[in-house]
A = this chain, B = another copy of it.
């Protein structure tokens, strides 16, 4: 069988384009409607996608005037989606910078049980000052400190998910043994930031533990991903940049003693799909025309660390602070600065380019052209799959599933049906071992059949 790739649907309100909610192809009221998101989950499952995914943030700022920000908490929302789907994976973002590892491990374990082993955790370190202020901090916690905390946080969560061995729930009515205490372990974590005794108050899930996903592409982010992540979402503007990122990240994975297939690289793409290329470009333009400069300038100001809200739209960017001074999203800062500089964009042009996917690659074309593009990136070593970011929802996801996926399936690039039941299974990852099991959980093993 040809090697096949993986597809994740990155869901956001009524679409990724910042003006999606103003466009006639959407119904903005559905950002508050759980059935909208359940429908999106079902559409993704109809397309046999590996997973759906929600980003998240822990604050709303002044941008709320012009755009929706997270309204539902992703794990509660995915729980509602889990019970109307059977196979599609369910990935939620949660931060390691605020909150407790026990609470987090527990809520993801709960989603993993509710979904029969389909939960994934997109690990973020929360770069925003607005978020810090909701958790008692002044200013953004430093980039380095955030990643140190993330390391320990993930260590604790992994230990907690190992704290029940497979088969620990015995349910022996006769002897009255509900669970075998020998197979339920304290974790006894004592670290710099956390002390957690364990065990978790949840048995091991059908897939062992949630899939670990990561999306930071800074130096610390890549090292973190190489150690822990099983899937990585990334914004790459061109094939050669995508290839470079892919090679670099896989080499890091190997340096950390892992098999390169244990981490899947999924660049983002915002597809505008139509019958002809011309129509697709016109569709994209119809969204660009609805962009609110006030909103975009605020967003860009936050990202770049300079106040652009009074800046002339038809001038180039002003001088920007050096990368070292950025304590927020370092890699996204770099990407946006490079984009503006390499193509000498005015602020207005830059805003239009970022409107679709905040720096992710936007592609307008026919279903065949989009399939070609994905195939090239996959076959030329820039991707193990893709993070599909529909500019408007549900229509943009329906078009991808109903018009692009069949082409990929005909070409043998994508599954025609699910072969596995768990998220980990879809991504070709073995059930993880268990540090507490006498056999290291080796009945499941670490060997990846990719």
- A positions within 8 Å CB-CB of B: 19, 21-22, 28-29, 32, 34, 38, 57-60, 62, 64-73, 75-77, 79-80, 82-84, 98-100, 102-103, 106-107, 109-111, 113-114, 130, 133-136, 169, 171, 173, 176-181, 184, 194-203, 290, 292, 295
* Contact yes or no, B66 A184, CB < 8 A: no
- Counting from the closest, the 7 A-B pairs by CB-CB distance are A73-B110, A133-B197, A79-B79, A136-B195, A76-B110, A76-B79, A176-B292
Question: Which residue on B lies nearest to A132, using beta carbons?
Answer: B197
Minimum Cβ distance to chain B for residue A181 (Å):
5
The CA of A181 and the CA of B181, in the complex, are separated in Å by 54
Contact: A199 with B80, CB < 8 Å? no
Report the minimal beta-carbon distance from A289 to chain B, rounded to whole angstroms. 12
What residues of B have a CB within 8 angstroms of the CB of A130 in the complex?
197
Known: A82-B80, A176-B290. A114 touches B70 (CB 8 A): no
- Taking the full assembly, how many copies of this chain does it contain? 2
CA A82 – CA B135 in complex, angstroms?
A: 29
Complex Cα distance, B412 from A370, in Å, reads 65
- Judging by beta carbons under 8 Å apart, are B68 and A178 in contact? yes
Residue among A109, A114, A195 with max Cβ neighbours from chain B (10 Å) = A114
* Known A178-B67, A292-B176; contact A77-B114, beta-carbon cutoff 8 A: yes
Q: Which of B98, B100, B135, B202 meets A98, CB within 8 Å?
A: B100
A196 to B34, Cβ gap below 8 A? no
In the docked arrangement, what's the CA distance between A130 and B196, Å?
A: 10
Q: Check if B171 sits within 8 Å of A28, measured CB to CB.
A: yes
B38–A100 touching, CB < 8 Å? no
The answer to whether A57 touches B201 (Cβ under 8 A) is yes
Specify which of A68, A110, A181 lies most central, judged by the most chain B CB atoms within 10 Å of its CB.
Answer: A110
Q: Is the CB of B103 within 8 A of A65?
A: no
The answer to whether A77 touches B180 (Cβ under 8 A) is no
A198 to B130, CA, bound (A): 8
Q: Are B113 and A72 in contact (CB under 8 A)?
A: yes
Least CB separation from A115: chain B residue: B34
CB distance from A91 to the nearest CB of B (A): 15
Name the B residues within 8 Å of A195 (CB-CB). Answer: 133, 136
For A102, give the chain B residue with the smallest CB separation: B134
Given contacts A100-B99, A203-B32, A203-B71, contact A179 B64 (CB under 8 A): yes
Residues of B within 8 A of A295 (CB): 176
Of B19, B28, B113, the contact of A32 (CB 8 Å cutoff): B113
Q: Per a CB cutoff under 8 Å, which of B32, B84, B179, B198 touches A83?
A: B84
Given A32-B169, A135-B102, A136-B194, A181-B65 contact (CB < 8 Å): yes
Shortest Cβ gap from A292 to chain B (Å): 5
CA distance A417 to B107 in the complex (A): 34
A110 & B77 in contact (Cβ 8 Å cutoff): yes
**Residue in chain B with minimal CB distance to A68:** B178
Complex: A201 Cα to B169 Cα, angstroms: 38
Given A173-B21, A196-B136, A197-B134: A103 touches B99 (CB 8 Å cut-off): yes
Q: Show 14 A/B contacts (Cβ-Cβ < 8 Å), sorted by A.
A: A22-B176, A32-B113, A34-B114, A60-B201, A67-B178, A71-B203, A72-B110, A76-B107, A76-B111, A80-B83, A83-B83, A133-B195, A134-B197, A176-B295
- Determine the chain B residues whose CB is within 8 A of the CB of A107 once the complex forms: 73, 75-76
